[in-house]
Amino acid sequence: MSGERYNPREMEPKWQKVWDDAQSFVASNDDTREPYYVLEMFPYPSGRIHMGHVRNYSMGDVVARYHRAKGKNVLHPMGWDAFGLPAENAAIERGLNPGTWTRQNIASMKAQLKSMGLAIDWTREIATCEPEYYQHQQSMFIDMLAAGLITRKKSKVNWDPVDMTVLANEQVIDGKGWRSGAVVEQRELTQWFFKISDMAEELLQGLDGLTDWPEKVRVMQRNWIGKSEGLRLRFELVPSDATAATSVEVFTTRPDTIFGASFLALSADHPLISELAANNPELAEFVAESRRIGTSTEAIETAEKRGYRTALTVKHPAIDSAVLPVYVANFVLMDYGTGAIFGCPAHDQRDLDFARKYDLPVKPVVLPTGGDAASFAVDDVAYTDAGSIYNSGFLDGLSIDDAKKAAAAHFAARTVDGQPQGKVEVNYRLRDWGLSRQRYWGAPIPIIHCEVCGTIPVPKKDLPVVLPDDVSFDKPGNALDHHPTWKHVNCPQCGASARRETDTMDTFVDSSWYFARFTAPHADTPTVPEIANRWLPVDQYIGGVEHAILHLLYSRYFTRAMKATGHVGMDEPFKGLFTQGMVTHETYKSPTGEWVAPVDIVVETFGEGRRAKHLKSGEPITIGSIEKMSKSKRNVVDPDEIVATYGADTARWFMLSDSPPERDVQWTEAGVEGASRFQQRVWRLVGETIDIVKQSSETVRTSDDDEALGLRKIAHRAVHNVAGDIEGLRFNRAVAQIYELTNALVRSAGLVAAAPAARIDALEQGVSHLIQLIAPMMPHLAETCWEAMGKTGLVADAPWPDVDPALLVDDTVTLPIQVNGKRRGEITVAKGLPAAEVESKVLSLDEIVRILDGKAPKKIVIVPDRIVNVVV
């Protein structure tokens, strides 16, 4: 038996077929055992899986297999986030039909995932691009529209005037269209929105209950929701011919700094500015230019701060006869607060930059604690920390917080234009979620526009609104809109000719409820609430931290919207969240500065150093920094090649072993080799153990000697600790425990020849435990070992081993041994071992025998469980 190498290439497909045939991982909705739902973020079908997927799915698989072994009814499904731009780009660039391209990719990625041996219930597979899926999304859209959760309003989009198409924010690079290079414009389109901002407070509060989420993700969501409490403050306009308006309102979180105000700034889209621009070409030009920055907050924040001084001025609300100039500024957003601010340069960096540029006064009104009022000044850095208010009339001497309250009370009691001058207000950064995309490859929005009846939802009996297959991408813009017949329909209400909505849904909608669909993937309603409520929320969700904001927030919103429309009964979709780190690799560059792929080089070591050369040309290659695996740097390792060379178990083991799962892991050849050697080591140990058991003649189980008991303790402790580590998602620590157990077993197998039956039994039990511990991580190897050991059934179906609590108790003590007061060694014995027994053990130790040199000791003093003193 022992001696043969383990051959993953042969065994892995074998066990995959066995699991498949036995439907081992198919979850039943009727199973009455405790449900456990583990889910990894489903992949986009780009065509090939990458190492990030391998890491992500290996982790999820360990969790799934472990909880199965713990007797739970485990749901571990897989699907495809199958709509989106890359399919359209393939269509444009390579003339492929987006559907065909996507489905081919799904087929090849599915084969790759299957080769990893994942414990997935493939009967529940879904792809969001199939009508069987998106018809339910359309149906829920209609429900949510009826429930008032969806609205239609004007909103700005990035418009590429050459390609005549709407661009996603990611497609705008430095203010230009990614494909055409044309300067992008802002256009207003009427679009559909989920009214997520109505739920801002609820989504914020809900974060408090998500205690099994990483704190950093909760912080990111909190910041994104961006609650701020402040004051709406009305400024009286100095009468002017330019407008009939008499006042303008700002939103401020720092009313305590009002005495430091030196200007007002309005958004380019502020109605007052539009009014002024109508008669002022220069202003109109400035407005147009501001709009070219792009719609993303990031673009606005990074753009140079620019302004235009209008002819308007306002009265300072607290300083008699002082007036402030009114600017248009490109950093003021129309859709936050009131679209207008007062600028206090001394205490806001943006305002300071602006003031320096346009030569506006900088008047400090917050004095740092211990600062000197006479000399304190703000130069290039705004002072934004704590202090006491000064230079500020009735606010002088107050802390910032007290001054905020005092200012709010002061302005609330005054009126401008017959209204309170100040009103306390809570604002959220969170914007409504625009779901319309002017794209073909997405779920059609189930709406019909009729000139007579208006905007009419498609009747549910007419669902799904199916995407046409016969589309052409030879014209820029939305291929769905260009389709000759698709959009022409009759109004479901009055029968007149009408037009389908040709916008499709943002793909974030698709991924906001797939986890619910998995619970009843073939139902003819979006969910079956009783079933969904049994499985959800997902017990453990695992994915990349890049989804910390949008995907997770949208899913949290959508779950609430589904609850409001009766599709599920809970608020939160994901009870536990884990965000794993990335997979990195060294980078390599040729002498001419091109990136070189790891497969094309050989690395040699010399002394402490390493150098690389090109595999074929032999030219020297520079070893560069360690970076996230990416196609652009070519530092990728193809999972297929790894599986072909080392097997899936090795890849899985390495991905789990090397770093804490939340951190980045560096893929190295040495690391994979190490994982592969470990696999062989386990296999050899199993072979040896089988031989030892076969050769043992003793059949009567003797009672445990120290060696047997020691081994049992190590094994039970490992079982106990690995369970805890898997439950805590500390996979690398679980792996370390398994290494320790393996070492102990290998050592013991080496000692065991002609040993008492109890030791052989302990070894066999220990190896059996080891196989169960590696089963979630290296499932194919584990099945092979399990079978070789003559166990019945599959290890995938075996219950997690019971731990004997007695074996977890550490009931030994290590006693130092002194000879004539000098420490000469130590001995480990059972706690409370009678002195006579300790004495005879001590006297048989090699070291003591040597020191006594045949003489008897004068005296032996034993302090029980503490120390042994030998006097010679």
Residue ranges that bind Zn ion, judged by CB under 5 A: 450, 452-453, 491, 493-494
Task: Give the residue with the Cβ less far from ligand ANZ, 409 or 466.
Answer: 409
342 binds, among Zn ion, ligand ANZ, none (CB under 5 to 8 A by kind): ligand ANZ
d(CA 324, CA 263): 5
Task: Give the residue with the Cβ less far from ligand ANZ, 229 or 462.
Answer: 229
Distances (CA, A) of 513 to 214, 519, 538: 21, 11, 12
Pairing of strands 323-329, 185-194: unpaired
* Strand residue runs (E) in 779-853: 812-819, 822-830
576 binds, among Zn ion, ligand ANZ, none (CB under 5 to 8 A by kind): none
d(CA 65, CA 726): 10
Minimum separation from the CB atom of position 375 to ligand ANZ (A): 21
Contacts of 77 (CB under 8 A, 6+ apart): 27, 39, 120, 121, 124, 125, 126, 518, 521
Minimum separation from the CB atom of position 451 to Zn ion (A): 7
Minimum separation from the CB atom of position 354 to ligand ANZ (A): 11
**Is-contact 49 112, C-beta < 8 A?**
yes
Minimum separation from the CB atom of position 468 to Zn ion (A): 23
Q: What are phi and psi of 408, to 5 degrees?
A: -60, -45
d(CA 446, CA 615): 56
**Binder of ligand ANZ out of 97, 180, 186, 228 (CB under 6 A):** 228
Six-digit token pair at 603? Answer: 């690395």
Minimum separation from the CB atom of position 484 to Zn ion (A): 22
**Binder of ligand ANZ out of 336, 376, 390, 595 (CB under 6 A):** 336
**Binder of ligand ANZ out of 240, 427, 680, 765 (CB under 6 A):** 427
Beta-ladder partners of 193: 151, 434
d(CA 712, CA 808): 10
Nearest to 444 by CA among 137, 150, 159: 137
> Under the criterion CB under 6 A, does residue 231 sit at the interface with ligand ANZ?
no
Does the CA dihedral 80-81-83-88 come out positive or negative?
Answer: negative
> Under the criterion CB under 6 A, does residue 347 sit at the interface with ligand ANZ?
yes
491 binds, among Zn ion, ligand ANZ, none (CB under 5 to 8 A by kind): Zn ion
272 binds, among Zn ion, ligand ANZ, none (CB under 5 to 8 A by kind): none
**Binder of ligand ANZ out of 35, 337, 573, 779 (CB under 6 A):** 337
**Radius of gyration for the chain, computed over Cα atoms and rounded to the nearest angstrom:** 35
Task: Give the residue with the Cβ less far from ligand ANZ, 262 or 584.
Answer: 262
Task: Give the residue with the Cβ less far from ligand ANZ, 213 or 383.
Answer: 383
- Residue linked to tokens 């052989």: 760
Minimum separation from the CB atom of position 325 to ligand ANZ (A): 15
Minimum separation from the CB atom of position 495 to Zn ion (A): 7
332 binds, among Zn ion, ligand ANZ, none (CB under 5 to 8 A by kind): ligand ANZ
Task: Give the residue with the Cβ less far from ligand ANZ, 269 or 501.
Answer: 269
Q: What angle do CA 259, 261, 266 make, to 5 degrees?
A: 145
228 binds, among Zn ion, ligand ANZ, none (CB under 5 to 8 A by kind): ligand ANZ
Task: Give the residue with the Cβ less far from ligand ANZ, 352 or 833.
Answer: 352
> Under the criterion CB under 6 A, does residue 403 sit at the interface with ligand ANZ?
no
Beta-ladder partners of 611: 604
> Under the criterion CB under 6 A, does residue 122 sit at the interface with ligand ANZ?
no
453 binds, among ligand ANZ, Zn ion, none (CB under 5 to 8 A by kind): Zn ion
Pairing of strands 227-236, 247-252: antiparallel
Task: Give the residue with the Cβ less far from Zn ion, 219 or 494.
Answer: 494
> Under the criterion CB under 6 A, does residue 251 sit at the interface with ligand ANZ?
yes
Task: Give the residue with the Cβ less far from ligand ANZ, 365 or 553.
Answer: 365
> Under the criterion CB under 6 A, does residue 422 sit at the interface with ligand ANZ?
no
Nearest to 551 by CA among 38, 36, 44: 44
Q: What are phi and psi of 768, to 5 degrees?
A: -60, -40
Pairing of strands 601-606, 609-614: antiparallel
Which amino acid, residue 610? Answer: R
494 binds, among Zn ion, ligand ANZ, none (CB under 5 to 8 A by kind): Zn ion
What DSSP character marks residue 606? E
> Under the criterion CB under 6 A, does residue 252 sit at the interface with ligand ANZ?
yes
Q: How many helices (H) and strands (E) does the chain have?
A: 27, 38
765 binds, among ligand ANZ, Zn ion, none (CB under 5 to 8 A by kind): none
Q: What are phi and psi of 518, to 5 degrees?
A: -60, -25
d(CA 150, CA 442): 18
**Binder of ligand ANZ out of 73, 257, 635, 784 (CB under 6 A):** 257
61 binds, among Zn ion, ligand ANZ, none (CB under 5 to 8 A by kind): none
Task: Give the residue with the Cβ less far from Zn ion, 49 or 491.
Answer: 491
Nearest to 430 by CA among 209, 227, 156, 571: 227
Nearest to 646 by CA among 767, 771, 781, 794: 781
> Under the criterion CB under 6 A, does residue 341 sit at the interface with ligand ANZ?
yes
- Residue linked to tokens 């005054």: 414
Residue count, binding to ligand ANZ (CB under 6 A): 19
**Binder of ligand ANZ out of 253, 296, 812, 818 (CB under 6 A):** 253
**Binder of ligand ANZ out of 40, 121, 269, 348 (CB under 6 A):** 348
What is the SS3 assignment for 622?
strand
Pairing of strands 126-127, 79-80: parallel
Task: Give the residue with the Cβ less far from ligand ANZ, 394 or 739.
Answer: 394
> Under the criterion CB under 6 A, does residue 332 sit at the interface with ligand ANZ?
yes
Question: N- to C-terminal Cα distance for the chain?
Answer: 53
Six-digit token pair at 558? Answer: 């959508």
> Under the criterion CB under 6 A, does residue 447 sit at the interface with ligand ANZ?
no
d(CA 334, CA 180): 28
Minimum separation from the CB atom of position 427 to ligand ANZ (A): 6
What DSSP character marks residue 240? B
Nearest to 459 by CA among 497, 427, 435, 491: 491
450 binds, among Zn ion, ligand ANZ, none (CB under 5 to 8 A by kind): Zn ion
Minimum separation from the CB atom of position 384 to ligand ANZ (A): 7
Minimum separation from the CB atom of position 462 to Zn ion (A): 14
Minimum separation from the CB atom of position 429 to ligand ANZ (A): 6
Does the CA dihedral 341-343-348-353 come out positive or negative?
Answer: positive
Minimum separation from the CB atom of position 409 to ligand ANZ (A): 18
Six-digit token pair at 378? Answer: 């703000």
Minimum separation from the CB atom of position 337 to ligand ANZ (A): 3
Pairing of strands 263-266, 323-329: parallel
> Segment near ligand ANZ (CB under 6 A), from 344-352, 501-509, 602-610, 786-794?
344-352
Six-digit token pair at 282? Answer: 């220069």
> Under the criterion CB under 6 A, does residue 556 sit at the interface with ligand ANZ?
no
DSSP string covering 362-375: ----EEPTT--TTT
Minimum separation from the CB atom of position 204 to Zn ion (A): 41
Q: Where are the alpha helices (DSSP H) in 525-599?
A: 529-535, 550-564
**Is-contact 801 772, C-beta < 8 A?**
yes
**Binder of ligand ANZ out of 74, 266, 333, 778 (CB under 6 A):** 333
Task: Give the residue with the Cβ less far from Zn ion, 450 or 815.
Answer: 450
442 binds, among Zn ion, ligand ANZ, none (CB under 5 to 8 A by kind): none
Minimum separation from the CB atom of position 186 to ligand ANZ (A): 16
Instruction: Please report, as ranges, the residues that interact with ligand ANZ according to CB under 6 A.
Output: 226, 228, 251-254, 257, 331-333, 336-337, 339, 341-342, 344, 347-348, 427
